[in-house]
Amino acid sequence: MDELTLLGASRTPVPTSPDDAVLETFANTHPGRDYVIRFDCPEFTALCPLTGQPDFGQITIEYVADARCIESKALKIYLFSFRNHGSFHEEVTNRILEDIVAACAPRRAKVIGNFRPRGGIAIHVTAEYEAPIS
């Protein structure tokens, strides 16, 4: 657990961009078993890259860990980093999946972005990953 720097920190600055955020991980204590880890972020916020207006949504992350697990406080701070970042919904959802895969190399992962209507249209994006069979 020595590698975790955000958990237990009394003050943690929020990065202004996901490029500056760190997804910390810890060792999976049950790597021989498939089990689903699910995170829900019902208050996700990002900015429209063209208008700068806020977009609100819910991000759900489900994954089956291999050797590493995502630490939840680091994930929270990472997701907060989108608040001042301009991205389309499709980009946000796929970016989160790519960053999760890069951080912990899961066996499988899925990110679901359910974005609130703006202009009368709600957008729902699902991105999935499955590790290649070795």
Which residues are catalytic, by number? 48, 55
Residue 122 has φ and ψ, to the nearest 5°, of -90, 145
DSSP 86-123: B--HHHHHHHHHHHHHHHH--SEEEEEEEEEEETTEEE
The torsion region of residue 86 among left (phi > 0), alpha (psi -120 to 50) and beta comes to: beta
Walk across the sheet containing 36-47 and list its strands.
36-47, 54-64, 108-118, 121-130
Q: Distance (Å, rounded) from C-alpha 116 to C-alpha 95?
A: 19
How many CA atoms lie less than 13 Å away from 118 in the CB half-sphere? 17
